[in-house]
Structure 1
Amino acid sequence: MDQLAVNDLSLVFAFGLVLIAVGISYKEKLKLSKDIFYSIFRAVIQLVIVGYVLKYIFQLDNVWLTTAMSLFIVLNAAWNAHKRNPNHRKQYWSSLLAIFVSTYVTMGVLIASGAIRFIPSQIIPISGMIASNSMVAIGLCYRNLASQFRDQRQQVLEKLALGADAKTASLPILRESIRTAMQPTIDSAKTVGLVSLPGMMSGLIFAGVDPVHAIKYQIMVTFMLLSTTSLGSIIAGYTAYHNYYNEQLQLIREE
């Protein structure tokens, strides 16, 4: 099978598509041009660095180095999820706990079942896949918590005045935030294969793997992502809602 090669001309044409996005942003006064260029510059630098680092780690095949790289991914994902939390009393450990547990519980099951092996070429990419999806879901959960506590402040105050504890008063907001965080993954699972052709399945088939095996791997990935987003959202929600109350369990007004 012929291998596809990305040459410099291909990259130039692909960058032209970015310029289209910049042009639209400028024309519609979206004020996203700087962010687009910054994100592209950052992505290129990060991918070049990570590409060489991963090549070295894959060749070395060291357990401790593989573990360290996986932990680095989780710590970085937790930091980015933490930054997406609008609450001014947010705590990093909440994001770290949510992503750490959701990532390594899911990976632990996959390793124990024999679906993947503890080798860098499998552990590191899957760590990134799981942690990034958990990060996005947790960020959605945080933003919805902030929005709901602001919009439903009066209802929460009334419940507290009637004797409800903080958890009971916050429960509808928590449930809605967790539901919002999980919804994109659920919607993606509903349309997989019909609207989107998953990268892992397509890549495996393109590489010559039996389609049946490729489908099994994609089903595993779908289960994996549903698991990690649900675990991450629940842990993040139930640890973060406390930040909207003070030590006397009074609702704090967010600016």
Structure 2
Amino acid sequence: MDLYWEDFFKDYEWLIVFLKGMVKPAAALVVVLLAVVLSYSQNLSLEGEMIYSVFRSFLQLSVIGFVLQFIFNQENSGWIVLAYLFMVSVAGYTAGQRAKHVPRGKYVAGLSILAGTSITMILLVVLNVFPFTPRYMIPIAGMLVGNAMTVTGVTMKQLRDDIKMQLNLVETALALGATPRQATLQQVKRALVISLSPVLDSCKTVGLISLPGAMTGMIMGGASPLEAIQLQIVVMNMMVGAATVSSITSTYLCWPSFFTKAYQLQTHVFSSN
């Protein structure tokens, strides 16, 4: 019997370690309980959504933790491509939902995110900033894709909304012989400024107001603060690059949906709210 339990603990040692590690996250649910109580006391009716969101995040993170553990143990670079394409697909769908009135918005968002993040990741590998291994590239891809998703969704939605508000100005410019690019230049600039401003503001205030996730994680994991800032500088640089390429690409890919081949506005695109 002793041998049986000894073998059992050896086989499931990873599960026991995982369950022990979940004690602190479970204790942190007290903070969520506080949020639920406040929501109830203020009649916000968000209690159910809060509980669902926390449960979903717990489930998703637990599953992805086991998946990443499996991938890291394989040391197969093919998993990087599969994981990356999965992230881009989900991000493209999510960003397209934000800009749901843009025709083929999910495909435009997906291609834009793919362009911005893939270029950035290739440069990081070529410059030997990070080794091309799952342990490095999958977390990096997650940060890049997540940030590019937010920026791309905002850019597409803002561009469509701005053109809708200024239809007369755009149509007048087209009637005077302007190309779609020339007629919507100000709207494109505004959309890009609005979408990229949070990223740039984050760069300006990093370390002064907040310590970002990558840096905080390294410090809490026992790394030197000097090592942590080196990684964080790389992270901030690559996020700015990927976000900029993705957002600009999305504006170019949106134009065919906004205009006909005769350089006329597709009015049905701007008819809905």
Query: If the length of structure 2 is used for normalisation, what is the TM-score?
Result: 0.83
User: 137, 153, 165: which one pairs with 1:139?
Assistant: 153
In the other structure, the counterpart of 2:13 is none
CA distance in 2 between partners of 1:231 and 1:88 (Å): 19
Cα displacement (A) at 1:163: 2.2
Amino acid at match of 2:136: Q
Taking a change above 3 Å as real, the CA distance of residues 225 and 88 of structure 1, as seen in their structure-2 partners, is closer
Q: Is contact 2:99–2:105 with CA below 8 Å preserved after alignment?
A: no
* Pairwise CA distance, 1:234: 0.3
In structure 1, distance between residues paired with 2:206 and 2:191: 24
Give 2:17's aligned residue: none
**Deviations, residues 196-231 of structure 1 (Å, cap 9, x unaligned):** 112222322333333322221111111111101101
Aligned pairs for 1:16-27 within 5 A = 16-26=30-40
Within the alignment, does 1:219 sit opposite 2:233 as a pair? yes
Contact 2:116-2:148 within 8 A present in 1 as well? yes
- 4+ runs of 1 displaced by more than 6 Å? none
Q: Which residue matches 2:271?
A: 254
**Hey, what's the Cα distance between the residues in 2 that align with 1:143 and 1:35?**
25
Match of 1:239 in 2: 253
Q: Partners of 1:29 and 1:143 in 2: how far apart?
A: 31
- Secondary structure, aligned partner of 2:100: coil
Alignment root-mean-square deviation, CA: 2.2
Cα offset, 1:11, TM superposition: 3.8
| Number of residues of Structure 1 aligned to a counterpart in Structure 2 | 250
Q: Which moved more, 1:121-130 or 1:59-68?
A: 59-68
SS of the equivalent of 1:219 reads helix
Structure 1 CA distance for aligned equivalents of residues 32 and 220 of structure 2: 27
**What displacement does 1:28 show?**
5.2
Given that 2:151 and 2:243 are in contact with CA atoms closer than 8 Å, whether structure 1 keeps it comes out as yes
Q: Which moved more, 1:48-57 or 1:78-87?
A: 78-87
Q: Which amino acid counterpart does residue 227 of structure 1 have in structure 2?
A: G
Q: What is the CA–CA distance in structure 2 between the aligned matches of 1:23 and 1:166, rounded to whole Å?
A: 52
For structure 1, which runs of at least 5 residues remain unmatched after alignment? Answer: none
CA distance in 2, matches of 1:40, 1:241: 39
Q: Is the 8 A contact 1:77 1:132 kept in 2?
A: yes
Give the TM-score normalised by the residue count of structure 1. 0.88
Pair 1:171–1:195, CA change in 2 (3 A)? same
* Structure 2 counterparts to residues 85-104 of structure 1, below 5 A: 85-104=99-118
116, 120, 144: which one aligns with 1:130: 144
Q: Helix, strand or coil: the match of 2:211?
A: coil
Task: State the Cα deviation string for residues 128-148 of structure 1 (Å, max 9, x = none).
Answer: 000000001011112211321
Tell me, in whole angstroms, the C-alpha distance in 2 between the residues paired with 1:41 and 1:248: 51
Residue pair 1:178, 1:233 contacting (<8 A) in 2 also? yes
Supply the AA of the counterpart residue of 2:70.
Answer: Y
CA distance in 1, matches of 2:100, 2:48: 23
Farther-moved stretch of structure 1 (50-59 vs 16-25): 16-25
1:156 correspondence with 2:173: no
Output the CA distance in 2 between the equivalents of 1:168 and 1:155.
12
Identical amino acids, percent of aligned pairs: 32
Is residue 2:185 matched to residue 1:185? Answer: no
Q: Is the 8 A contact 1:170 1:241 kept in 2?
A: no
Mean Cα deviation higher: 99-108 or 186-195: 99-108
Structure 1 contact 74–127 (Cα < 8 Å) conserved = no
- Alpha-carbon shift at residue 22 of structure 1 (Å): 4.0
Q: What is aligned with 2:209?
A: 195
Name the residue aligned to 2:243. 229
Q: Distance in 2 between matches of 1:197 and 1:162?
A: 51
Does 1:54 pair with 2:71? Answer: no
Conserved in 2, the CA contact under 8 Å of 1:86 and 1:142?
A: no
Contact 1:145-1:241 at 8 Å conserved across structures: no
CA distance, structure 1, for counterparts of residue 204 and residue 44 of structure 2: 32
Q: For 1:27-62, what per-residue CA distance to the aligned partner results, in whole angstroms no more than 9, with x for missing partners?
A: 555554444333223212211211111110011111
Residue 153 of structure 1 and its aligned partner are, at CA, apart by 1.7
Contact 2:203–2:236 under 8 Å retained in 1: yes
